[in-house]
Amino acid sequence: MLDTLITGARVIDGTGAPGRPCDVGILDDRIVHVGTSSNYEATVTVDAGGLLLTPGFIDPHSHTDWSVLGNPEAHSTIRQGVTTEVVGNCGVTYAPLHDADVHAAQSALASLGYTEQITWRSFGELLDTVHGGGTTQNLMWFVGHTALRTAAASRAAHDGVDRRAELIRLLEEALEAGAIGFSSGLEYGSGRFADTDELAELASVCGRRDGMYSSHIRNRDTGLAAAVDEFFDVVHRGGVRAQISHLNVRHGTGASEGAWHDAVQRVVTERERGCAVLADMTPYPDGIGMATGLLPPWLADRPSADIAELLRDSHIRRRVREDSDRYWRFIHRGQWDRVRLGVSATHPQWEGLSFPRIAELHGKDEWDCLFDILSAAGPDIGSVQLLGELFTEDHLAQAIGHDHFLLGVDAFSARCTGPLGARTRHPLFYYGHTHYLAHHVPAGTLKLEDAVHRMTGKVADHFGITGRGRITEGHYADLVLIDPDVLARTDTWSLPDGYADAARHVWVNGVPVVTDAVHTGRRPGQLLSRT
CATH, residue 240: 3.20.20.140
pLDDT of residue 39: 85
Claim to verify: residue 138 and residue 46 sit in the same structural domain: no
Distance CA 478, CA 138 (A): 9
Residue 530 within any structural domain of the chain: no
Distance CA 78, CA 84 (A): 9
Q: Which domain holds residue 197?
A: 57-101+132-287+390-463
**Beta carbons of 291 and 373 less than 8 angstroms apart:** yes
- Largest interatomic CA distance in the chain: 79
Give me the helices (H) in 210-354, please: 224-238, 259-272, 297-300, 304-310, 314-322, 329-332
**Beta carbons of 395 and 249 less than 8 angstroms apart:** yes
Distance CA 521, CA 135 (A): 10
Claim to verify: residue 68 and residue 159 sit in the same structural domain: yes
Residues 6 or more apart whose CB falls under 8 angstroms from that of 264 comprise 247, 279, 399, 402, 404
**Beta carbons of 78 and 519 less than 8 angstroms apart:** yes
What CATH number did the domain enclosing 509 receive? 2.30.40.10
pLDDT of residue 37: 80
pLDDT of residue 111: 87
Average pLDDT along the chain, 531 residues, taken 10 residues at a time: 97 98 98 90 97 98 97 98 98 97 92 94 98 98 98 96 97 98 95 96 97 97 96 98 96 91 98 98 94 95 94 97 93 96 93 96 98 96 94 96 97 94 91 98 98 98 98 98 98 93 98 98 95 61
Claim to verify: residue 369 and residue 336 sit in the same structural domain: yes
Claim to verify: residue 440 and residue 488 sit in the same structural domain: no
Distance CA 276, CA 181 (A): 14
Claim to verify: residue 334 and residue 447 sit in the same structural domain: no
Residue 113 within any structural domain of the chain: no
**Beta carbons of 111 and 423 less than 8 angstroms apart:** yes
pTM to 2 decimals?
0.96
pLDDT of residue 531: 61
**Beta carbons of 48 and 24 less than 8 angstroms apart:** no
Claim to verify: residue 447 and residue 371 sit in the same structural domain: no
H or E segment to which residue 369 belongs: helix 366-377
pLDDT of residue 455: 98
Number of domains in the chain: 3
User: Buried b vs exposed e over 160-169: b needs ≥16 C-beta within 10 Å?
Assistant: eeeeeebbbb
Residue 125 within any structural domain of the chain: no
pLDDT of residue 189: 87
Q: What is the dihedral of CA 484, 510, 478, 415, to 10 degrees?
A: 70
Q: Rounded to a whole number, what is the distance in angstroms from the first to the last CA of the chain?
A: 31
